[in-house]
Amino acid sequence: MKMVVDVKSVKKVYGAKGNVFTALDGIDLSVMEGEFIGIMGPSGAGKSTLLNVIATIDQPTSGDIFIDGTSILTMNEDQLASFRRDKLGFLFQDYNLLDTLSVKENIVLPLALAKVNVKELERRVDDIADTFGIRPILEKYPYQISGGQKQRTAASRAIITNPRLLLADEPTGALDSKSATDLLESLKELNEHRQATVFMVTHDAFAASYCKRVLFIKDGKIFTEIVKGTSPRKEFFNKVLDVLSVLGGGTSDTV
């Protein structure tokens, strides 16, 4: 199997001298094509930061990241933009919807930027609107919809391009359990049927139980990781809970 993302001793330090904060402290991580990885850890552990550097929207202070074997340090601005546009789907923790665009326009934005033809574009919106139950709000604007609806919109935008690499930062944080399950199922479907590699940050053990591998991060370092392997989801869920109780900072739920 091909290696999609290779994170090599990445450090991320915020702030200038005197007042520095190390958000990532030497992370090493290899991700194979088709993996479904969960990232958990207490608030402020550096999970979002890790996603950001992988997404190339933030630069590591030291270390390197290889995407499909190419170091992001050697890529220029245009190549990075192409990568983000063509291969990456990012579901941001704070949604990052454009308030000047309607829900539908927000969702099709990546397709429009990629100049996909209108017919195909409409077809895909149609599909995704049903999957996430957002058809009634397609013509509304972000300020007119609820937090959960925003999250679903953001999710639709992230996966509408069928990205090869999907980064999801707490994709179920604002959702009720029905919508959360729908979302997780579609991530799974993307992962299993379209060979997308999925990275998902979550505080929710139930969501984490969808992953094939879960990494735990604490204070900018990888604390431990557990692999689902062939174990059933229920068992994996309990394992996650066990680690979280050691780590602290997780929320528990029942399956």
Partner 1 sequence: MTLFSLAKRNIIGNFKNYLLYFLSMIFSVVIYHTFVSLRYSSEIEKNIESFQSMRSVFLQASIILIAFVAVFIWYSNAFFTKKRKKEVGMYSLLGLRKKTIGKMMFYENLLMGAGAVIAGVLLSTLLSKMFTMLLLRLLGTDVDVGFTLSLEAFGNTIFVFTCIILITSIQGYRLIYNFNLIELFQADKEGEPLPEVSMIGVIIGTILLVFGYWIAFQPVDSNGQILRNLLLIMGSIVTGTYLLFRTAIVYLLKKAKEHKSSYYNGINIIGTSHLLYRIKGNARMLTMIALLSALTLSAITIGTSQYYNFTTHAKQLEPFSYTYISKGDIEEEKIKEIIYEDKNHPVQAELTVPLLKVHTDPSDTDLPEYLEQLMAEFPEEDFINLISAKTFNQVSAALDRNEKVTLSGNEAAMIKPRYTHDSFSDYEGRTITLKLPEEEKQVRFTHLLEGRVLSWRYPDAYIVLSDELYSEMEKQIQPVAYKTYQVKDQKNTELTSNQLHQLGFDDLKLSTFYKVYKRGLESAGQDIFTLGFLGLVFLAATGCMIYFKQLTEAHSDKGRYEILRKIGVRKKEVLTTISKQSLFIFLLPLIVGISHNLMIVKVLLGINLIGGDISIPILTSIGFYIAIYLGYYILTVNTYYKIVNL
Task: Give the shortest CB-171-to-partner 1 separation in angstroms.
Answer: 16
Asked if 45 interacts with ligand ATP (CB under 6 A), we say: yes
Is 42 a binder of partner 1 (CB under 8 A)?
no
Q: Which amino acid is at 158?
A: A
Does 172 sit near Mg ion (CB under 5 A)?
Answer: no
Task: Verify binding: residue 23, ligand ATP, rule CB under 6 A.
Answer: yes
Site string for ligand ATP, 168-187 (x = CB under 6 A): --------------------
Phi/psi region, residue 95 (left: phi>0; alpha: psi -120 to 50; beta: rest), is left
90/171 Cα distance (integer angstroms):
10
* All residues at 6 or more sequence positions from 156 whose CB lies less than 8 Å from its CB, including other chains: 107, 128, 129, 131, 132, 134
18/99 with CB nearer partner 1:
99
Does position 14 interact with ligand ATP (CB under 6 A)? The reply is yes
Interaction of residue 51 with partner 1, rule CB under 8 A: no
Does the protein bind partner 1 through residue 16 (CB under 8 A)?
Answer: no
List alpha helices for 14-167, DSSP H: 47-54, 77-86, 103-113, 118-131, 147-159
Q: Which of 21, 70, 98, 194 binds ligand ATP (CB under 6 A)?
A: 21
Structure tokens at 199: 């990275």
Q: Is residue 76 near ligand ATP by the rule CB under 6 A?
A: no
Handedness of CA 145, 151, 152, 158 (dihedral sign): positive
Q: Shortest gap between Cβ of 40 and partner 1 (angstroms)?
A: 23
Over the window 57 to 76, marking each residue x when it contacts partner 1 by CB under 8 A and - when it does not, the resulting string is x-------------------
Nearest approach in angstroms of CB 117 to partner 1 is 8
How many Å is the maximal CA-CA distance in the chain? 55
Going through 163-230 in order, the beta strands assigned E by DSSP cover 165-169, 197-201, 213-218, 221-227
Q: Please report whether residue 99 would count as binding partner 1 according to CB under 8 A.
A: yes
Residue of 95, 103, 99 whose CA lies nearest to 135: 103
- Judged by CB under 6 A, the residue of 5, 38, 49, 83 near ligand ATP is 49
Nearer to partner 1, 42 or 163 (CB): 163
Which one of residues 23, 40, 42, 48 is an interface residue with Mg ion (CB under 5 A)? 48
Residue type, 160: I
Cβ atoms of 168 and 187 within 8 Å: the answer is yes
Contacts of 230 (CB under 8 A, 6+ apart): none
Q: Residues in the site for Mg ion, rule: CB under 5 A?
A: 48, 93
Q: Residues in the site for partner 1, rule: CB under 8 A?
A: 55, 57, 77-78, 81-86, 88, 90, 92, 96-101, 105, 108-113, 115-118, 121, 141-144, 157
